[in-house]
Amino acid sequence: MHRRSIYTIAFVFITFLSYLSLYHCLTRSTMSSATRSSVADLARELIRIESITPVDGGCQTVVHHRLSKIGFTCETLQYHDVTNLWAFRGDLKSKQPLLVFAGHTDIVPPGPLEAWTYHPFDGFIDDQNILHGRGAVDMKGGIASFLVALEDFISSHPNHSYSIGVIITSDEEGKAEYGTKMVVEELLRRGIHINMAIIGEPSSYETVGDFIKIGRRGSLGGELTIKGIQGHVAYPHQSLNPIHESLGALKDLVDMKWNDGTEDFGPTTFQISNINAGTGARNVVPGFKTVVFNFRYSPASTEENIKSRVEKILDNHSLNYEIDWHDVSSNLFVS
Ligand SMILES: [Zn+2]
């Protein structure tokens, strides 16, 4: 990659960071108020669309229109129920390097609406100039920031010396099987190679750039089914209560120190996200209980090591159980 390209890529990256920074602190920025409202307005427009994984709900149409106006060629790549957008500006057949902005329009479910101070799909800006809503941080705010940054950059540098691409998917929060991975595979089939990618995911804590991610932890999830014997609560000696039987094992799993992490990654963590048992009747001992859990693991753990330790804990409590492991596609990597 020649020097001019490196400079210009650095410049567009800094422009993006400026807008991201601007987005994070709407009032403290030195940017013009017109630009400020442009980023906020676009983020609000996206937040108002209920794009719960894998539904895009029209978010990518908004992005598509904005990019088309500044000379991007846009294409929708639909794989099963996942909508992806691939857009580029420049000559992909030349030797120009390709810089890609990547993101996702999907969000996780909002949970009970009454638990929200502000409606999750209103995009409300409070008197502290904080924008509220599902996806404000992860990552409709990031998309709005890089889109406005691109509009600004291209208006002043219409003849940039490299190609710019945008990849947006509607499935990052879910299984992510038919999202970015499939788009990149399709681009490789077409002979398109990405030299550098900027992902608008939230990673900072207090200010933009105070935390730089150099990889990601592995994600390993599972659904544990603990088997008991259904019966009447009045005759517990005739049943085996899987809720009671599993309490000790679940406590051991929750209390377990999996490792100390590494120099770059924190310790491996275990979280239970769902527990279900019971027939709904108040007088029936359930026949089984399901526990959905997830590990985010550092390089100090391996998938096999975690699995064997979990099974050992469950065996120590003499439980009758099955585990359906999943999320194994979310492998750990360090770049
Ligand atoms: Zn995200």
Quickly tell me which residue has 């997830």 as its tokens: 294
Cα(3) to centroid(ligand 1), Å: 32
135 CA to middle of ligand 1, Å?
8
Q: Which residue has the tokens 């980023």?
A: 39
Ligand 1 centroid from CA 310, angstroms: 28
The residue from 56, 138, 171, 172 that is catalytic is: 172
For residue 335, the CA-to-ligand 1 centroid distance in Å is 18
Residues with Cβ within 8 Å of 97's Cβ and at least 6 positions away in sequence, in order, are 1, 5, 9, 162, 163, 195, 196
Residue with tokens 């705010």: 141
HSE (CB half, 13 Å, CA atoms) of 177? 8
DSSP state of 39: H
Q: What is the pLDDT, as a whole number, of residue 4?
A: 53
Asked whether 86 and 75 are in contact (CB, 8 A), the reply is yes
The secondary structure element, H or E, covering residue 139 is none
Whether 50 is catalytic is no
Per-residue pLDDT of the chain (335 residues; tens, 9 = 90+): 455 555 555 556 666 665 665 555 443 444 566 666 789 999 999 999 999 999 999 999 999 999 999 999 999 999 999 999 999 999 998 888 999 999 999 999 999 999 999 999 999 999 988 899 999 999 999 999 999 999 999 999 999 988 999 999 999 998 888 999 999 999 999 999 999 998 888 888 888 778 878 888 999 999 999 999 999 999 999 999 999 999 999 999 999 999 999 988 999 999 999 999 999 999 999 999 999 999 999 999 999 999 999 999 999 999 999 999 986 556 788 87
Give bridge partners of residue 324 from the DSSP assignment.
223
pLDDT of residue 46: 98
Closest by CA position to 288, among listed 233, 218, 235, 239? 239
Residues ≥6 apart with Cβ < 8 Å to 51: 57, 58, 59, 105, 106, 107, 135, 170
Let me know: does 124 contact 116? Beta carbons within 8 Å. no
Q: How many whole angstroms separate alpha carbon 79 and alpha carbon 18?
A: 34
Q: Please check whether residue 319 is in contact with residue 226, taking contact to mean a CB–CB distance below 8 angstroms.
A: yes
Residue 281 to residues 64, 98, 259, Cα–Cα distance (Å): 51, 60, 41
Residue 172 annotated to the active site = yes
- pTM metric for this prediction: 0.75
pLDDT of residue 25: 46
- pLDDT confidence of residue 27: 39
**Per-domain residue ranges for the chain?**
3-199, 216-334
Q: What's residue 26's pLDDT? A: 45
Residue 28's pLDDT is: 42
Ligand 1 centre distance from Cα of residue 201 (Å): 5
Per-residue model confidence (pLDDT) at position 174:
87
Amino acid 206: pLDDT: 81
For the record, the structure tokens of 310 come out as: 């979990």
Which superfamily, per CATH, for 3-199?
A: Zn peptidases (3.40.630.10)
Q: What is the pLDDT at residue 164?
A: 95
Set 56, 106, 152, 171: catalytic member: 106
Q: Tell which CATH classification among 2.60.40.10, 3.30.70.360, 3.20.20.70, 3.40.50.1220 matches the domain 216-334.
A: 3.30.70.360
Rounded to the nearest angstrom, the distance between the alpha carbon of 229 and the centre of ligand 1 is 42
Rounded Cα distance, 254 and 80, in Å: 37
Centre of ligand 1 from the C-alpha of residue 4, in Å: 31
> What is the 26 CA–ligand 1 centroid distance (Å)?
21
Would you give the distance in Å from CA 181 to the centre of its chain?
Answer: 14
The structure tokens listed for 113 are 């609406």
Locate 97 and state its tokens: 């390097």
